[in-house]
Amino acid sequence: MTAQTVKIQGLGAQGDGIVHDADGPIFVPFALPGETVAIARIKDQGTIMSITEAAPERREPACRHFGPDGKNGTCGSCSLQHLADEPYHVFKRSLVVAALKSKGLDAEVGALVHCRPGERRRVVFTARKTEKGLLLGFSQANSHHIVAIEECPVTTDGIVSRLDAIRAIGAPLATTAEPFRITVMETLSGLDICFEGIKTASDKQRRTVTEIVLSMPGIARVSLSGEILIEPLRPVIQFDGVNITPPAGSFAQATKQAEDAMAELVVAHVGKSKRIADLFSGSGTFALRLARLGKVHAVEAEDKALKALDLAARNTQGLKPVTIEKRDLFRHALTVKELKNYDAVVFDPPRAGAEAQCKELARSGVKKIVAVSCNPLSLARDLAILVEGGYRLTKVTPIDQFLWSPHVEAVATLEK
C-alpha cells in the first residue's frame, strides 16, 4: 500500500473517481471530478484518507450507511449519493450516450427519466446468523462483509419499516453462519418474502415461521427457494389495472414508477400494431398492457412466470387474445419465418442482451421494434445489429430505475 495525493479527473462507469496515472487508471470510490484527495493505494484501487479540496458538486449523502465513514461499514448498493442532482443526471445519461457511441450509433438520446427516493419496491438483502441474532443488510462493495441496515432511503417505507419483522421471520430458518439471500417485494396486499440459499427447513422451523407470520399484519407470502411456506394473502401487483400474482421470488421491475415510464414508451411506439410479440416477457410487464392494443404472443423461458401471465390474461376482461410460449430465446430465437406473423416486437432480455434474436430480427420485415435493457453495452451491440439490418433507430430514453447506483435502464425504439 502506498499513500499519495491525487486530483480526480473524471467518473468511471461504476461511479468511482478516476485518476490517470503513468501506470494506468486509479479508481477512487466516493471521489468526484476536480477534487484533491489523499488516498491509500493498492494497485489500481484508492481509498480516500482525506479530502483536501472538495468539488462544489459534493453534497451530504442521504444515508448513514453510505461512504467510507458509513456506520458499521459502507453499504455497497449506492455509489453516488454524494453527487448533486444535476451532474448525477448528466452522468447517468452519459452512460447510454457512451455505449451507443462505442458502436458508432448516432441516435437521439432523451432526457433521463428521474427516480426519487423511497420508490424501490423490490430489494434483495443478504443475511446470516450471528451470536446476536440475524444480521440483515447489504454486502459491502468488493467484500463478503454484510453491512447491517438500519435505513435505506431508496427503498419504500413499506419495506424499511418492516426490517424487524423480516429479521424475525428469517431467524428460525438460519441454522448456520452461511450467508443467504432474502428477496422482499412490496405488493398491494403486503410483503412477499422469499428466502434463497438455505438448503432445507425442518417441520419445526416451518411451524415457527408460520406462527410468526400469522402474528404479524402485512405479510402476504413467505417462501423458501420457490416453495411457499405460508401465504396469508395472495400477493398482487398490477400492470395497467391487470392484477397478477407473480411467482415466489420472481423478477419484477424494481420500481413501479420506472416500470410505468418504460411501459408508456413501449405502448406509444407499438401504437396501432395488431400482432405483437413480447419476447423475454416475464410475468407480463408489457404483454398485459399491449393486450389492450392487439393480439399478443408472449415468449419466456420461465414456466411459472408464463403461467402467472396466462392466468392474469384469462381473468381480465377487455384484453385482446394473449398466447404464451415457453422457449429459451438464447438457444432458439424466433426465426425470420416466425417473425412474419408480427407487426411489432418488444424484447426485454437479461443483462446479456438478445444478440441471437436481433440477428433474426435484422433479417425480418417486422415494422416496429422496442428494445428494453438494463445494460447499455449489450443494448448498443444489439441495436447495431438491427441498424445494420436496415432498421432506423428513432430514439433512446434512459431511465434511472436504480437511484444513486451506476446502473441505468434504457428503452430504444426502431422502425424498418
pLDDT, tens digit, 9 for 90 and up, residues 198-207: 988 999 999 9
300 in the same domain as 356:
yes
Q: How far, in Å, CA of 20 to CA of 163, rounded? A: 42
Annotated binding site for S-adenosyl-L-methionine: 253, 280, 300, 348
Q: Amino acid identity of 389?
A: G
The distance in angstroms from the start CA to the end CA of the chain is 55
pTM here is: 0.94
283 in the same domain as 204:
no
In a domain, 77, yes or no: no
In a domain, 352, yes or no: yes
Place of cell 450516450: 97
Q: Is the pLDDT of residue 76 over 90?
A: no
- What's the pLDDT at 249? 87
Q: How far, in Å, CA of 384 to CA of 347, rounded? A: 15
What mean pLDDT comes out for the span 388-402? Answer: 97
Please tell me the total count of domains within the chain. 3
Among the candidates 37, 58, 79, a domain finishes at: 58
- What's the pLDDT at 72? 61
Q: Is the pLDDT of residue 142 over 90?
A: no
Mean of per-residue pLDDT scores for the chain: 95
Specify whether the CB–CB gap between 239 and 285 falls below 8 A.
yes
Q: How far, in Å, CA of 357 to CA of 42, rounded? A: 42
CATH number, residue 386: 3.40.50.150
What domain range includes position 335?
Answer: 89-116+252-415
27 in the same domain as 147:
no
| Sheet (strand 146-148) strand order | 146-148, 133-139, 122-130, 180-187, 190-196, 219-224, 227-230
Confidence of residue 70 (pLDDT cuts 50, 70, 90): low
In a domain, 79, yes or no: no
Nearest to 296 by CA among 263, 273, 265: 273
Which grid cell sits at 241? 389495472
- What's the pLDDT at 21? 85
Q: Is the pLDDT of residue 106 over 70?
A: yes
146 in the same domain as 50:
no
Confidence of residue 73 (pLDDT cuts 50, 70, 90): low
In a domain, 184, yes or no: yes
pLDDT digits (tens, 9 = 90+) for 324-376: 999 999 999 999 999 999 999 999 999 999 999 999 999 999 999 999 999 99
411 in the same domain as 268:
yes
269 in the same domain as 131:
no
293 in the same domain as 200:
no
162 CB-side CA count, 13 A: 25
285 in the same domain as 218:
no
Strand pairing category for 219-224 and 227-230: antiparallel
Strand pairing category for 344-347 and 392-399: unpaired
- What's the pLDDT at 77? 85
136 in the same domain as 97:
no
Q: How far, in Å, CA of 195 to CA of 226, rounded? A: 8
In a domain, 70, yes or no: no
Torsions phi, psi of 198, nearest 5?
-100, 125
- What's the pLDDT at 69? 73
User: Any idea which of 20-24, 216-220, 319-323, 348-352 has the lowest mean pLDDT?
Assistant: 20-24
171 in the same domain as 32:
no
125 forms beta bridges with 182
What mean pLDDT comes out for the span 126-139? Answer: 94
397 in the same domain as 258:
yes
In a domain, 243, yes or no: no
In a domain, 63, yes or no: no
Confidence of residue 379 (pLDDT cuts 50, 70, 90): very high
- What's the pLDDT at 148? 92
Annotated binding site: 253, 280, 300, 348
Q: Is the pLDDT of residue 141 over 80?
A: no
275 in the same domain as 142:
no
CATH number, residue 49: 2.40.50.140
In a domain, 67, yes or no: no
66, 283, 404 from 60: Cα distances, Å = 10, 39, 13
Nearest to 177 by CA among 143, 125, 128, 131: 128
Which grid cell sits at 235? 400477493
Among the candidates 18, 40, 58, a domain finishes at: 58
- What's the pLDDT at 71? 63
Question: b/e for 12-47, b at 16 or more Cβ within 10 A?
Answer: eeebbbbbeeeeeebbbbbbbbbbebebebeeeebb
User: Which residues are marked as active site?
Assistant: 374
